[in-house]
C-alpha cells in the first residue's frame, strides 16, 4: 500500500462499528486508596518516511512511565502478512517485548485511530511529521490535524530526526493557562525524565506541552491559531492536550504492578 507517514488512505480498525465518542468521561484523580494507572500511548506506525521518529517519541513517553502500543493502519484487508511484518519491525525498534501491536483496517486514518484509542482507553496518539518536512522541524499531517480539530485524545508529533538525535530531553515548556493541564503534565514529565520546566521555548527545548484553548469543550482538543503557529515553527516534539486532560505520566508500570 502506498502512503506517507499520515496518508489519509491508511488506517487500521478491528471493529465492525466504531465506538461512539459522545460520552466523554472527564479525567479524574484517584480517590484515597485507589491506584492511578499510567498513561497509555498509541504510536501510529506504517514503516514509511519519518515513522522511526514517532517510535522515538513513543520511547521517550515510555521512559516517563507510559504504557506504549503500536498501531498499523491499513486501507484494505489485503496483505495481512506484510502489514504484520511492518508492525513487527516497529515493535522491534520500540524495544519493549511486552508492547502490543494492533493492525486495523479503516478508510479514515484519524477515525480509525480515534476508535482504537477509545477502545483501549488511550491518552495520547503519537504521529511523526509529514513526509516532506525539513530535518529538525515539525509538520502536522492530515491525520494529526483532524484530531487537533475536536478530537478526544491528546496528540503528540515528533520532529524529523528525533530518532537520530536521541530521546533525551533537557527542557520542557508548558503553553497554556493555569486552568488547563499543560503545566501539571509538563512538570510530571520533567520529574520523570530528569528535565526542567522552562518558561519559554528556546534551542534547548525538547518538548512543548500545549493546552487546548480555554473556551474548548472539556475533553476536546481545540487550539488557537497562535498555538498552531507555534507547532509549525517548533523544532522540538509537541504534545497537545484536550481541555482539562492530565495524562498520568511518572507513574511506572512496575509500581502499578507492585501496588
Residues 6 or more apart whose Cβ sits within 8 Å of residue 122: 40, 41, 42, 69, 116, 153
Given a cut of 70, whether residue 250 has pLDDT beyond it is yes
Residue 194, helix vs strand vs coil = coil
Mean pLDDT value across residues 99-116: 89
Q: Per residue in 111-159, pLDDT tens? A: 989 999 999 999 999 999 988 899 999 999 999 999 999 999 999 999 9
Given a cut of 60, whether residue 21 has pLDDT beyond it is no
pTM for this model (two decimals): 0.83
Domain 40-248 fold is Rossmann fold (3.40.50)
Instruction: Say what the pLDDT of residue 47 is.
Output: 82
Given a cut of 80, whether residue 31 has pLDDT beyond it is no
C-alpha span between 212 and 220 (Å, rounded): 8
Distances (CA, A) of 16 to 19, 80, 83, 110, 211: 10, 17, 19, 16, 33
C-alpha span between 135 and 149 (Å, rounded): 26
Q: Per residue in 158-180, pLDDT tens? A: 999 999 988 789 999 999 887 88
Given a cut of 60, whether residue 27 has pLDDT beyond it is no
Instruction: Say what the pLDDT of residue 29 is.
Output: 43
Amino acid at each position: 500500500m502506498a502512503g506517507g507517514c499520515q496518508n489519509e488512505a491508511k488506517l487500521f480498525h478491528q471493529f465492525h462499528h466504531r465506538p461512539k465518542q459522545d460520552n466523554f468521561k472527564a479525567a479524574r484523580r484517584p480517590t484515597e486508596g485507589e491506584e492511578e494507572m499510567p498513561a497509555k500511548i498509541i504510536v501510529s506506525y506504517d514503516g514509511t518516511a519519518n515513522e522511526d521518529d514517532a517510535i522515538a517519541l513513543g520511547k521517550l513517553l515510555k521512559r516517563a512511565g507510559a504504557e506504549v502500543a503500536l498501531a498499523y493502519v491499513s486501507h484494505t484487508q489485503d496483505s495481512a502478512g506484510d502489514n504484520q511484518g511492518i508492525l513487527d519491525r516497529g515493535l522491534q525498534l520500540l524495544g519493549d517485548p511486552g508492547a502490543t501491536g494492533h493492525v486495523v483496517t479503516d478508510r479514515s486514518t484519524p477515525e480509525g485511530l480515534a476508535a482504537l484509542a477509545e477502545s483501549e482507553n488511550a491518552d495520547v496518539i503519537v504521529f511523526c511529521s509529514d513526509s516532506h518536512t525539513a530535518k529538525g522541524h515539525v509538520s502536522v499531517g492530515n491525520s494529526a490535524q483532524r484530531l487537533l480539530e475536536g478530537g478526544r485524545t491528546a496528540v503528540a508529533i515528533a520532529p524529523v530526526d528525533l530518532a537520530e538525535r536521541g530521546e533525551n530531553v533537557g527542557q520542557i515548556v508548558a503553553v497554556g493557562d493555569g486552568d488547563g493541564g499543560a503545566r501539571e503534565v509538563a512538570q510530571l514529565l520533567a520529574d520523570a525524565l530528569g528535565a526542567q520546566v522552562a518558561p519559554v521555548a528556546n534551542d534547548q527545548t525538547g518538548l512543548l506541552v500545549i493546552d487546548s484553548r480555554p473556551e474548548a469543550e472539556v475533553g476536546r482538543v481545540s487550539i488557537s491559531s497562535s498555538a498552531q503557529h507555534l507547532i509549525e515553527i517548533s523544532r522540538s516534539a509537541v504534545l497537545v492536550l484536550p481541555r482539562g486532560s492530565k495524562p498520568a505520566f511518572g507513574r511506572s508500570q512496575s509500581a502499578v504492578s507492585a501496588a
